[in-house]
Amino acid sequence: MTELDSFPILRRWNDLVLSGADRQIEAFLLELGRSLPPDWSRDASRERDYGRRGAHPGSACFVREPRTGVKVTLWLLRTKPEELQGGVVESSDRARYYPDAAEAILEFEWAALKPAAGATGVAIRSKRPGPRTVLPEQVRVVLNEYLDCGERGWPQSERAGRAWRKLVIAAYQSETLLDPDEFRRWLVDSHGYSRDEAEQLFARLLADSRILSEYESERQSA
């Protein structure tokens, strides 16, 4: 694997989100430990050290250490009781960091992570829609705040309405570029939207952003 081939894999790991009820996440981590392929182990000692520092307690550390070859460490960070995210990836060979790390991620995903998620009902999703969508960090944060409200469609509750207004303003003020197909597919695959719900959200976001743009143009020309 070349460095160029490895970049999308590392980005996917960085954007990885695993979500479910608190008990599901605990069951997932147990199943993940039982599903590890040869040369992989869970490093409880490093997890305890990490937890004592107060950084994401409950995070999990997995190590691939073949007898001959490169040692790679993958972290799953417990950002919430009901959520894990892809974390730091370490390699003992800095010269070959990208391909070695990417190969370890692929092995871990297909041999352990995806089967364990399927067995426990934990959802696998991504923080970002995809490579053709430009989503600045501040927009990603408020978008996830809106999606966490769990409301699809209009009229909205006061809480969801506030989150939606923040999203529209952030998207308008930043250089957000949404690929329509990619964005709608992400809503369906990562957040459980139906195709009609995804289409409605995208169309509404586009329309409300245009209203802001037209208002700003009229204000400047007045």
Give the Å distances, CA to CA, from 202 to 73, 116, 133.
38, 32, 13
- Condensed to tens digits (0 to 9), the pLDDT of residues 200-214 reads 999 998 898 888 888
Ramachandran quadrant class, 18 (left: phi over 0; alpha: psi -120 to 50; beta: rest): beta
Domain boundaries, the chain: 3-126, 137-221
CA dist 70 and 216 (Å) reads 55
> Looking at the whole model, is its pTM more than 0.95?
no
**What number is the average pLDDT over the span 111-125?**
92
**What number is the average pLDDT over the span 178-194?**
86
Residue 97's pLDDT is 86
**What number is the average pLDDT over the span 70-85?**
91
Residue 107's pLDDT is 94
**What number is the average pLDDT over the span 213-219?**
76
Cα 29 to chain centroid distance, Å, stands at 17
Residue 141's pLDDT is 84
Residue 171's pLDDT is 85
Q: Which carries the bigger pLDDT value, residue 148 or residue 109?
A: 109
Q: Is pLDDT above 70 for 1?
A: no
| Torsion, Cα of 66, 59, 55, 127 (10° steps) | 100
Residue 222's pLDDT is 62
**Among 53-57, 107-111, 138-142, the least confident range:** 53-57
Across the chain, what does the average pLDDT equal? Answer: 86
CA dist 188 and 97 (Å) reads 33
